[in-house]
Chain A
Amino acid sequence: QVQQQQWGAGLLKPSETLSLTCAVYGGSFTTNYWSWIRQPPGKGLEWIGQSNHFGSTTYNPSLKSRVTISVDTSKSQFSLKVTSVTAADTAVYYCVRINNNAWDYWGQGTLVTVSA
């Protein structure tokens, strides 16, 4: 059974950098793509980006200039950094496995609030 556990700072000030990490347990870290998806309060899902275990990444064009997804295969972990955050980045952030053309296993989510 695949599980993800994620962690990171939940309260940021405008202009700071959001940093989250997701650890993967079970399954095979090297045979899947791994993604980050966020959900602003009361709104729909927004795809942030994805990476494979080689570090080959694809990002949402609307966030590309501020987002970095990195992987640490030795620890079966992947991370998200978003620079220069604003209130518009306030959301629940999920780390998610990609399998069979779908996002199949979701982390528990981390609420990140950006407030002065």
Chain B
Amino acid sequence: QSVLTQPPSVSAAPGQKVTISCSGSTSNIGNNYVSWYVQLPGTAPKLLIYEDNRRPSGIPDRFSGSKSGTSATLGITGLQIGDEADYHCGAWDSSLSAGVFGGGTKLTVL
């Protein structure tokens, strides 16, 4: 059972937009930064978004992050077949004094 809650799967057509939610509490998302990761099969996760809505160098602006209260959202526009992957959210939990993650969301581009 993950501390952060993500939908197990989402899907959308190529070219469309999709959002992935990440729900937590005041001890994690509500008072700490959220980050997002993409994981292709058989590979290590890769950082997509840090500090709620900032993109590392090299990440296209099709990827965006937002946060409101104790929930965060990853948005992906202009979906491509290559975006099919697992997406994970993460944050620090001040009550646990530990890093916490969601269970991951599998994105299917139909």
With A58-B97, A102-B90: A44-B46 Cβ-Cβ less than 8 Å = no
B33-A101 in contact (CB<8A): yes
Question: Residues 11-48 of chain B: 1 if any A CB is under 8 Å from the residue's CB, otherwise 0?
Answer: 00000000000000000000011010100000011110
Q: How far is the CB of A43 from chain B (nearest CB, A)?
A: 7
A60-B98 in contact (CB<8A): yes
Max chain B Cβ within 10 angstroms of own Cβ: one of A43, A47, A61, A102: A102
In the complex, which residue of chain B has the Cβ closest to the Cβ of A45? Answer: B101
| Of A14-22, A68-76, A77-85, A106-114, the one with at least 4 CB within 8 A of chain B | A106-114
Task: Compute how far the CA of A29 lies from the CA of B54 in the bound complex, rounded to whole angstroms.
Answer: 23
How many B residues touch A, CB cutoff 8 Å? 25
A90 within 8 A of B: no
In the complex, which residue of chain A has the Cβ closest to the Cβ of B102? Answer: A44
Chain A residues with CB under 8 Å of chain B are 35, 37, 43-47, 50, 58-61, 94, 100-109
Chain B residues with CB under 8 Å of chain A are 2, 32-33, 35, 37, 44-47, 50-51, 54, 56, 88, 90, 92, 96-104
| 5 A/B residue pairs, CB under 8 Å, sorted by A | A44-B102, A45-B88, A101-B33, A103-B35, A104-B56
User: Given A44-B101, A103-B37, list of 20 further CB < 8 A pairs?
Assistant: A43-B104, A44-B2, A44-B102, A44-B104, A45-B101, A45-B104, A47-B90, A59-B98, A94-B44, A94-B45, A100-B50, A100-B51, A100-B54, A102-B33, A103-B35, A103-B99, A104-B47, A104-B50, A105-B47, A109-B44
